[in-house]
Amino acid sequence: MKSLADMNDSQLQDVTAEGKHMLFFDAAWCGDCRFIKPQMPAIEKEYNDWQFIEIDRDKYMDLAKDMDVFGIPSFIAVKDGKEIGRFANKDRKTKKEIEAFIDNLPA
């Protein structure tokens, strides 16, 4: 999984301009993020047509605010530069819920 730490905000826009990207907002202190993080490699493998990008919400608070992400862990699906769905709330998320979210995104 790539990390926003590997690029800046404008590079993120360039990277997500084409293709399918899943933005995964988390934070080191977040227990619910630590709960799902071990499942992320399996999710990435299953959905290998998506590029997953991890974004530390605390380090990129302005970006999170701009994207209306206040609860973590949160997922935002971006296809060809446009948001096509989000799974963003303050609840713990399971692997099954994340898979259902991705399965129900528009083609």
What is the three-state SS of 1-28? CEEHHHCCHHHHHHHHCCCEEEEEEECC
Q: Name the residue type at position 30.
A: C
* 93 labelled catalytic: no
Catalytic residue (choose from 33, 40, 53, 102)? 33
* 33 labelled catalytic: yes
Catalytic residue (choose from 12, 30, 63, 78)? 30
Contact present, 25 and 72 (Cβ < 8 Å)? yes
Contact present, 44 and 36 (Cβ < 8 Å)? no
Catalytic residues: 30, 33
